[in-house]
């Protein structure tokens, strides 16, 4: 490699190293090393996974999938079939849907298509960190507008941030980590007034009061991201999709997307669960019921303030330091997410809504560390 090429590579690597990156939830193995608790005995409540779709059900469906497919050949009709099944599930034409191996690759894909070096993407703060990471990798500018103290978005300030180089707006709704869903009227106004593409990330959409999917057919600049990782319990298989107006979605799918973006196994598993949608709907209702109970029980503990949630996790604040609470939970086999500061709130943590027995253990440990009920 000549000096000029070497210099270019070194400069690019230096730039990439300067990015904040994205830190995924801690693994069971690493948590076990720090807690002296066996991985199999740790309750994993740090990554917003869904335990209400039973492991036994998913294992049985996966066995059926393995028997049905030939792994030696590329996916055949599965992509078309899942688009049709998703169209029925969502009440939109199948041409409105584009599938991908999870919503994170979709965020990367859209960033690569619609952001050039020096252009801008907007979002709110705090929110899902992958947006900034993908924008940084494009060499584009990531700008954010803080949420209000009640976690609502400030539409006036958002629109005031727009410049001639603004191309994308990312909105996680329900938002991670605040767990609130933004008002539909404000989202409609955002779609109408924002000059670029509005990407609504509905990873937790099925746990919330409404979805923006019905808006896509009449909105040229709206893309709604969904995933099978949360609602359907398929975090380990990586399957996601975009819903947009038919021209937008079909153009990207046919002209911009790489062939075979999703494995046969992931597509077939998605189809199996859509064909057994009552299993998923039952899991959603049970999770929402347990979510309400968990929030109530957390708020009954002295030194804890839990916030309302439209997602499958709960944000809560403690009177003791979040580092101390996090470690105390971990040492007794409960792994949550240590957030620290969230907007004006210090000492915050986030916990997945687990099965009742999981939540009971979490509550018991918190009571032991912080004291009994208020």
Q: CATH no. for residue 200?
A: 3.40.640.10
Same domain, 112 and 256: yes
CATH number, domain at 326? 3.90.1150.10
What is residue 42's predicted lDDT score, i.e. its pLDDT?
86
258 & 295 share domain = no
Whether residues 264 and 285 share a domain: the answer is no
Same domain for 326 and 222, yes or no, is: no
Q: pLDDT digit string (tens) for 335-372?
A: 999 999 999 999 999 999 999 999 999 999 999 988 76
H or E segment and range at residue 309: none
Dihedral, CA atoms, 286, 291, 292, 294, nearest 10 degrees?
Answer: 120
Task: Give me the mean pLDDT over the 97-117 stretch.
Answer: 93
**Looking at per-residue confidence, does 23 or 143 come out higher?**
143
- The pLDDT value recorded for residue 277 is 97
Average pLDDT, the chain: 93
What Cα–Cα distance (Å) separates residue 85 from each residue in 142, 193, 252, 268, 362?
Answer: 35, 33, 20, 11, 38
Q: Average of pLDDT values for 26-36?
A: 80
pTM for this model (two decimals): 0.93
pLDDT digits (tens, 9 = 90+) for 47-94: 999 999 999 999 999 999 999 999 999 999 999 999 999 999 999 999
Task: Give the number of C-alpha atoms closer than 13 A to the C-alpha of residue 335, restricted to the C-beta side.
Answer: 25
Q: Compute CA distances 161 → 116, 154, 155, 164, 306, whole Å.
A: 18, 11, 10, 10, 32
For residue 6, pLDDT over 80 is answered with: no
Q: Name 89's Cβ contacts closer than 8 Å, sequence gap at least 6.
A: 274, 277
Look at residue 5 in the predicted model and tell me its pLDDT.
64
Same domain, 308 and 235: no
State the Cα–Cα distance between residues 117 and 112, nearest whole angstrom.
10
Q: Which of 225, 256, 276 is the last residue of a domain?
A: 276
Same domain as 38, residue 175: no
Between CA 104 and CA 159 the distance in angstroms is 25
Report the range of poorest mean pLDDT among 4-8, 253-257, 327-331: 4-8
In a domain, 8, yes or no: no
Confidence class of residue 319 from pLDDT cuts 50, 70 and 90?
very high
**Whether 210 and 351 share a structural domain:** no
At 36 the pLDDT is 80
CA–CA separation, 106 and 128 (whole Å): 14
Q: List, in sequence order, the alpha helices (H) in 246-313.
A: 246-251, 264-275, 277-299
Asked whether residue 262 falls in the same domain as residue 288, the answer is: no
Nearest 5°: the CA angle 222, 126, 115 is 45
Domain of 62 in residue numbering reads as 55-276
Q: How confident is the model at residue 37 (pLDDT cuts 50, 70, 90)?
A: confident
pLDDT for res 282: 97
Mean pLDDT of 134-147: 95
- Which residues, 6+ apart, have CB-to-CB distance to 251 below 8 Å? none
CA distance 131 to 134: 5
Q: Is residue 15 part of a domain?
A: no
Describe the crossing of helices 28-35 and 322-331 by its angle, rounded to 10 degrees. Answer: 90
Does a structural domain hold residue 175? yes
- CB neighbours of 203 closer than 8 A, spacing ≥ 6? 103, 128, 172, 176, 225, 226, 227, 229, 230
Look at residue 144 and give its three-state secondary structure. Answer: strand
Give every CB contact of residue 306 below 8 A, 6+ residues apart in sequence.
294, 295, 298, 299, 314, 315, 316, 317
Any alpha helices (H) in the chain, and if so which ranges? 3-18, 28-35, 55-68, 78-90, 103-114, 130-137, 155-160, 184-193, 246-251, 264-275, 277-299, 322-331, 356-370
Are 312 and 177 spatial neighbours (Cβ–Cβ below 8 Å)?
A: no
Q: For position 194, what pLDDT does the model report? A: 97
Same domain, 121 and 212: yes
Structural domain includes residue 154: yes
Residue 2 lies in a domain: no
Q: Is residue 232 located within the same domain as residue 295?
A: no
Please determine, for residue 374, whether its predicted confidence score (pLDDT) is greater than 60.
Answer: no
pLDDT of amino acid 1? 53
C-alpha–C-alpha distance, residues 275 and 185, integer Å: 33
Asked if residue 359 and residue 238 are part of one domain, the reply reads no
Residues 287 and 190 in one domain: no
**Torsion angles phi and psi, residue 31, rounded to 5:** -65, -40
Tokens of 122: 């907007």
Q: How far apart are CA 198 and CA 176, in angstroms?
A: 17
Q: What's residue 47's pLDDT?
A: 95
């Amino acid at each position: 490699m000549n000096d000029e090429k070497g210099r270019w590579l070194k400069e690019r690597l230096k730039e990439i190293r300067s990015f904040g990156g994205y830190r995924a939830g801690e693994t069971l193995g690493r948590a076990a090393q720090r807690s002296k608790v066996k991985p199999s005995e740790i309750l994993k409540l740090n990554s917003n996974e869904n335990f209400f779709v039973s492991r036994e059900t998913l294992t049985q469906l996966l066995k059926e999938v393995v028997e049905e497919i030939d792994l030696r050949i590329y996916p055949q009709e599965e992509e078309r079939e899942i688009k049709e099944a998703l169209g029925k599930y969502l009440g939109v034409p199948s041409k409105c849907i584009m599938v991908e191996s999870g919503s994170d690759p979709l965020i990367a894909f859209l960033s690569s298509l619609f952001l050039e070096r020096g252009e801008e993407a907007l979002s709110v703060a705090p929110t899902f960190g992958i947006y900034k990471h993908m924008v940084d990798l494009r060499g584009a500018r990531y700008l954010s507008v803080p949420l209000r103290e009640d976690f609502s978005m400030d539409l006036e300030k958002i629109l005031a941030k727009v410049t001639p180089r603004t191309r994308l707006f990312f909105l996680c709704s329900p938002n991670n980590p605040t767990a609130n869903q933004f008002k539909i009227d404000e989202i409609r106004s955002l779609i109408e007034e924002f000059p670029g593409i509005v990407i609504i990330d509905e990873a937790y959409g099925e746990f919330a009061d409404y979805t923006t999917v019905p808006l896509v057919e009449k909105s040229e600049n709206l893309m709604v991201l969904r995933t099978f990782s949360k609602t359907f319990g398929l975090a380990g298989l990586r399957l996601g999709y975009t819903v947009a107006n038919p021209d937008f979605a079909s153009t990207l799918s046919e002209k911009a997307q790489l062939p075979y973006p999703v494995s046969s196994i992931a597509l077939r598993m998605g189809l199996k669960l859509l064909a057994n949608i009552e299993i998923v709907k039952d899991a959603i209702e049970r999770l929402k019921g347990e979510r309400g109970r968990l929030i109530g029980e957390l708020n009954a503990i002295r030194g804890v303030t839990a916030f309302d949630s439209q997602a499958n996790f709960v944000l809560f604040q403690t009177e003791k330091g979040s580092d101390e609470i996090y470690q105390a939970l971990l040492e007794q086999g409960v792994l949550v997410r240590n957030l620290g500061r969230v907007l004006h709130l210090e000492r915050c943590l986030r916990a997945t809504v687990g099965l009742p027995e999981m939540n009971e253990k979490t509550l018991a440990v918190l009571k032991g560390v912080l004291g009994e009920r208020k």
